[in-house]
Amino acid sequence: MASQDYHRGEMNIADQKATWDGFMTGSVWGTLIVTMIVGYATLALAIGMHWAVALGLMAVLGIGGGLFMNLGGRWMATVVVMVVLALIVQAFIWLFGAIL
């Protein structure tokens, strides 16, 4: 019978563990990225803080969160790329504002 072939604790769960670890890593990264985006939008648009100050605060929050959660160098590179992208977007906003 099939029920006699089963032995508790002998199943290889490496694939399930890798899937769970990937899900948790993605959840942490996604949560921090969404927090940084919403925090920047809240500080810059809703509160009226200068965009550079809001960007700096969110960069510090991102780096601090990455250090606290031990996310490593890829997270730090992601924060740097997000800051550079925000600076490029702000440059386009300034450029189109100057043209109009």
| pLDDT of amino acid 10 | 79
Please choose, from the candidates 56, 23, 25, 22, the residue with its C-alpha nearest in 3D space to the C-alpha of residue 39: 56
Taking only the tens of pLDDT, the chain with its 100 residues reads 556 777 777 778 889 999 999 999 999 999 999 999 999 999 999 999 999 999 999 999 999 999 999 999 999 999 999 999 999 999 999 999 888 7
In the block, residue with structure tokens 């927090």: 35
Are the CB atoms for 28 and 69 separated by under 8 Å?
yes
| pLDDT of amino acid 46 | 94
Q: Dihedral of CA 69/72/75/76: which sign? A: positive
What DSSP designation does 28 have?
H
**What span, in angstroms and rounded, lies between the C-alpha atoms of 4 and 15?**
24
| pLDDT of amino acid 2 | 59
